[in-house]
């Protein structure tokens, strides 16, 4: 889900650079394929400016220096480049950089302030301003079929069945565009960004799925690190509190919305239940109880409650939760957060956001060294 946030930031910087009229250029590097060990998944992006400044990442820092040099060449030539980094061979300094990370990473580098991406910039930003999944296809293999690498097509997808309903750009041929739309209709909700064969062409399909909304109830000082860490992790965070004086933008600069609200106010617009999670921490038993009831009524799949287990059990008992919503204890996480031995607002916030990430990724938290599969495998 971090790809959505990263993409918004990258395209915003490209747009600002083009609008400045200062003549500076940029190139965009995107991970399009990985095998074995890789720090970032397909879809990860690194924007490289002609000044040497960068935004984003395609690795943990081991590939960025070389990718910057490739990006400079792309800016000069105007032609995209596909670069493979095979870190399995520690003796080949050209292809592996001697990293010993035991994996393959394919990175596609294309002009950002000129060419196809620049022409699609306004369309892409418009799609990202909405709340529908997006698929962006890029023609990568220029050798097959004779089409120029870098042609792009953006498709807005139905949130229910992934049927395409809006298109921008083209892969260069009407039949190829039709093949892409048919492929997107067949892939389903769980498709991951990656390479696809469309006839004789190789296309990278980058799926951008809107990140979940996180509603934080309670704007006390201990909410600030939760909001900051969650927003940095990619969540779109709304802060609710009945105390208007606590809802200060300077305290929650990363929140998309600050709203004065009481749980029983029907006029309060809340995110759709299946696309939202909540952390309830008003430090008032009365208000926490009412917010938990409201979120269970809305069908939120995750309702985190700050405080000891006995307090959460009392809240659920008071509102007759198991009778009204049988099995709801599986949706209520109280005490909220992972058992990390956290102490203090910052550490507790880390434990809460870690649990949120595990929940939306459908992962059972454990040590990475205990996994036999690659880190990003399902």
Q: Confirm if 353 and 229 have CB atoms less than 8 A apart.
A: yes
Closest CA to 349 of 237, 195, 208: 237
Question: Over pLDDT 70: what percentage of the chain?
Answer: 90
Region 213-360: CATH code: 3.40.50.720
pLDDT digit string, tens, across residues 217-274 = 999 999 999 999 999 999 999 999 999 999 999 999 999 999 999 999 888 888 877 7
Tokens 């935004």 -> residue: 55
The H or E element that residue 174 is part of is helix 174-187
> Rounded CA gap, 131 and 313, in Å?
35
Q: Which runs of consecutive H residues, i.e. helices, occur in 21-164? A: 64-77, 115-128
Model confidence at 90, pLDDT cuts 50, 70, 90, reads low
Is the pLDDT score of 96 beyond 80? no
Tokens 């599969």 -> residue: 373
Is the pLDDT score of 282 beyond 70? yes
Contacts of 131 (CB under 8 A, 6+ apart): 159, 210, 275
The reported pLDDT for the residue numbered 371 is 80
The reported pLDDT for the residue numbered 162 is 54
The reported pLDDT for the residue numbered 100 is 47
Model confidence at 89, pLDDT cuts 50, 70, 90, reads low
> Rounded CA gap, 6 and 136, in Å?
15
Per domain, the residue ranges of the chain are: 2-115, 116-208, 213-360
Is the pLDDT score of 121 beyond 50? yes
The reported pLDDT for the residue numbered 192 is 87
pLDDT digit string, tens, across residues 355-375 = 999 999 999 998 888 887 766
The reported pLDDT for the residue numbered 203 is 95
The reported pLDDT for the residue numbered 377 is 64
């Amino acid at each position: 889900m971090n790809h959505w946030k990263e993409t918004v930031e990258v395209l915003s910087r490209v747009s600002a650079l083009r609008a400045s009229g200062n003549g500076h250029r940029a190139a965009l590097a995107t991970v399009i394929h990985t095998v074995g060990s890789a720090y970032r998944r397909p879809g990860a992006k690194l924007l490289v400016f002609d000044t040497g400044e960068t935004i984003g990442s395609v690795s943990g820092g081991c590939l960025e220096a070389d990718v910057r040099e490739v990006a400079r060449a792309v800016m000069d030539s105007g032609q995209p480049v596909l670069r493979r980094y095979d870190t399995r061979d520690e003796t080949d300094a050209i292809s592996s950089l001697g990293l010993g990370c035991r994996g393959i990473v394919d990175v596609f580098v294309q002009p950002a302030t000129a060419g196809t991406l620049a022409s699609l910039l306004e369309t892409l930003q418009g799609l990202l301003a909405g709340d529908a999944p997006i698929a962006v296809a890029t023609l990568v293999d220029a050798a097959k079929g004779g089409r120029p690498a870098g042609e792009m097509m953006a498709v807005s997808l139905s949130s229910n069945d992934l049927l395409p309903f809006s298109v921008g750009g083209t892969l260069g041929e009407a039949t190829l565009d039709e093949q892409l739309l048919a492929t997107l209709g067949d892939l389903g909700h769980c498709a991951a960004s990656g390479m696809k064969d469309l006839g004789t062409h190789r296309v990278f399909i980058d799926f951008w799925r809107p990140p979940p909304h996180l509603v934080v109830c309670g704007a006390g000082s201990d909410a600030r690190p939760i909001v900051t860490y969650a927003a940095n992790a990619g969540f779109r965070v709304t802060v609710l509190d009945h105390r208007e004086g606590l809802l200060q933008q300077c305290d929650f600069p990363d929140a998309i919305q600050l709203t004065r609200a009481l749980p029983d106010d029907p006029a309060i617009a809340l995110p759709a239940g299946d696309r939202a999670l909540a952390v309830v921490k008003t430090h008032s038993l009365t208000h926490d109880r009412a917010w938990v009831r409201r979120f269970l009524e809305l069908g939120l799949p995750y309702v985190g409650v700050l405080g000891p287990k006995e307090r959460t059990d009392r809240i659920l008992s008071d509102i007759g939760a198991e009778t009204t919503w049988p099995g709801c204890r599986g949706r209520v996480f109280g005490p909220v957060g992972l058992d990390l031995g956290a102490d203090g607002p910052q550490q507790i916030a880390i434990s809460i956001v870690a649990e949120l990430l595990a929940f939306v990724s459908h992962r059972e938290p454990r040590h990475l060294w205990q996994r036999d599969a690659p880190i990003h495998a399902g």
